[in-house]
Amino acid sequence: MALFNVSFQHPLESGEQHWPALTGKAAIAHFTETDWVALNAAVYQQQDNVMADFYFYELRYEDNTWQQEFCLNISGQYTYGKELEEKGPLFTIRYFYPVEATVKRFFGLGASRTEVQQKELMREDCDLALVQKCLDAFTRTDFDNLRLELAAHAPAKMM
């Protein structure tokens, strides 16, 4: 069974909250228990009290067989007023994942080697439905489907 390390940075509190070794179901429950509409309204109404401009919910998974780490970072966007009423809370999703790449030596001399590099796929202005699909795919360790889901909702940015 896959276990996830979860972190949450509340915008009106100092420090992060951490929950190590959660099941996928428990990790999703922590996310859905957060009232994102109320949180957005509180950030807007209490701007002077915001301690963390970048607030987020993050899941990390380490594949011990291949020694690879995957990370799904969901950060709240400042959504308020009519936009919040019409669209609900919006998020930025960042997905960090390992990719094997062939690297050539200095000036192409010598043999090429394969190394693992971290890639990032980012998507802005994501609604709650897309976030829930991504959380579901990530907690099932269905990383191919997660990349496809993010890419299907253009404009995604690869970094």
pTM: 0.87
Which of 130, 133, 121 is CA-nearest to residue 70? Answer: 121
Q: Check whether 143 has a pLDDT greater than 90.
A: yes
Q: What is the rounded end-to-end Cα distance, in angstroms, of the chain? A: 30
Which residues on adjacent β-strands are paired with residue 17? Answer: 8
Q: What percent of the chain has pLDDT over 90?
A: 54
Task: State pLDDT tens for residues 21-54.
Answer: 999 999 999 999 999 988 888 888 887 777 777 7
Please answer whether residues 8 and 46 qualify as being in contact, where contact means their C-beta atoms are separated by less than 8 angstroms. no
Supply the pLDDT for residue 158.
54
